[in-house]
């Protein structure tokens, strides 16, 4: 019994710690925390002996499942402050889920290497954007009209669905590049996370249904043991992160998150080539 607990305890502690960080980031950046959860899950599932052919798929799907309540909780906190662009969210009700559905369909046939490489490339680009961020980097003074706005929502949904993230970093970049205030972008991103995570959960369940390489407590590419451990922690931490977002300067947080993304990108690149 002692040996069993000794083996399980490090995984439980790592998952709980990841939940705290992911929840805080969900509130601070308006993101679902998937950029933290996916690489952590990848290491934990590897140590647990999950087959490499489904490991990255399981990381992405499980992350999206956890983002559902995290995004709802974060959006509720930001919405009360009246900053979210509800008009943009309404215009993306079809566009964003459409991209997520396409991502889950791709994941059903993509190899683990493809998903890891995709995560690494996008994380590297986002890292550069955050580390080299300049306030004068703008493409316009307001969001573009349709059809470009619809296309942007679909692309955000597609890339987020392939990475297992809530789309906050992508949406923050999109909105601020077109002249919207960062705090409005953050509040809106929490809502985008809801539009991504709900169809993502369903899509990854279907995509991985019946795969023989899945570990216990999995339905499709979602591991419910990890979900059950992490969700309560993220739900507690997300409102705290939302308060921090409205109190502190963002530049140091952007630099720290950018460095983290850079490390994660390099780690996944290394796993693909070795």
d(CA 142, CA 121): 28
pLDDT given at position 31: 65
pLDDT given at position 203: 95
pLDDT given at position 3: 40
pLDDT given at position 93: 96
pLDDT given at position 65: 93
Pairing of strands 218-219, 222-223: antiparallel
> What is the tens place of the pLDDT at every residue in 76-104?
877 887 888 999 999 999 999 999 999 99
User: Which residue matches tokens 């509800």?
Assistant: 86
Mean per-residue pLDDT for 157-186?
Answer: 87
pLDDT given at position 30: 61
- Kind plus residue range of the DSSP H or E element containing 218: strand 218-219
d(CA 186, CA 26): 9
Please determine, for residue 25, whether its predicted confidence score (pLDDT) is greater than 80: no
Percent residues over pLDDT 90 in the chain: 36
* Mean pLDDT score of the chain: 85
Asked if residues 180 and 155 have their Cβ atoms less than 8 Å apart, the reply is no
> What is the tens place of the pLDDT at every residue in 27-43?
776 666 788 788 888 88
Confidence of residue 239 (pLDDT cuts 50, 70, 90): confident
More confident residue, 237 or 10: 237
Asked if residues 120 and 63 have their Cβ atoms less than 8 Å apart, the reply is no
pLDDT given at position 2: 40
d(CA 126, CA 209): 31
Percent residues over pLDDT 70 in the chain: 91
User: Is the pTM value of this prediction over 0.85?
Assistant: no
In sequence order, the 6+-apart residues with CB closer than 8 A to the CB of 147 are none
User: Which residue matches tokens 């798929």?
Assistant: 57
Please determine, for residue 1, whether its predicted confidence score (pLDDT) is greater than 60: no
pLDDT given at position 76: 83
Asked if residues 192 and 168 have their Cβ atoms less than 8 Å apart, the reply is yes
More confident residue, 4 or 147: 147
Inter-axis angle of helices 251-273 and 112-131, to 10 degrees?
A: 150
Within the chain, residue ranges assigned H as helices are 2-29, 34-47, 52-79, 86-91, 95-107, 112-131, 148-163, 168-177, 182-207, 224-245, 251-273
* Vertex 53 angle, CA 45 and 201, to 5°: 70
């Amino acid at each position: 019994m002692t040996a069993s607990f000794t083996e399980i305890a490090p995984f439980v502690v790592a998952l709980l710690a990841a939940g705290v960080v992911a929840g805080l980031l969900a509130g601070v950046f308006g993101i679902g925390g998937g950029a933290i959860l996916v690489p952590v899950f990848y290491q934990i599932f590897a140590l647990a002996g999950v087959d490499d052919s489904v490991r990255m798929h399981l990381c992405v799907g499980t992350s999206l499942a956890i983002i559902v309540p995290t995004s709802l909780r974060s959006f509720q906190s930001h919405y009360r402050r009246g900053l979210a662009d509800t008009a943009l969210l309404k215009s993306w009700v079809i566009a964003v889920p459409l991209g997520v559905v396409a991502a889950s369909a791709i994941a059903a046939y993509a190899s683990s290497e493809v998903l890891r490489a995709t995560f690494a490339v996008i994380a590297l680009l986002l890292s550069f954007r955050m580390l080299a961020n300049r306030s004068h980097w703008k493409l316009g003074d307001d969001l573009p009209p349709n059809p470009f706005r619809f296309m942007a929502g679909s692309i955000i949904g597609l890339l987020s669905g392939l990475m297992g993230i809530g789309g906050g970093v992508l949406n923050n970049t999109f909105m601020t590049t077109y002249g919207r205030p960062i705090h409005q972008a953050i509040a809106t991103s929490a809502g985008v996370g809801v539009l991504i995570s709900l169809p993502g959960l369903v899509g990854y369940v279907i995509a991985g249904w019946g795969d023989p390489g899945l570990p216990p407590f999995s339905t499709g590419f979602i591991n419910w043991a990890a979900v059950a451990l992490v969700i309560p922690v993220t739900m507690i931490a997300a409102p705290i992160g939302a308060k921090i977002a409205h109190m502190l300067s963002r530049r140091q947080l952007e630099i720290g998150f950018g460095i983290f993304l850079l490390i994660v990108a390099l780690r996944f690149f290394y796993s693909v080539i070795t």
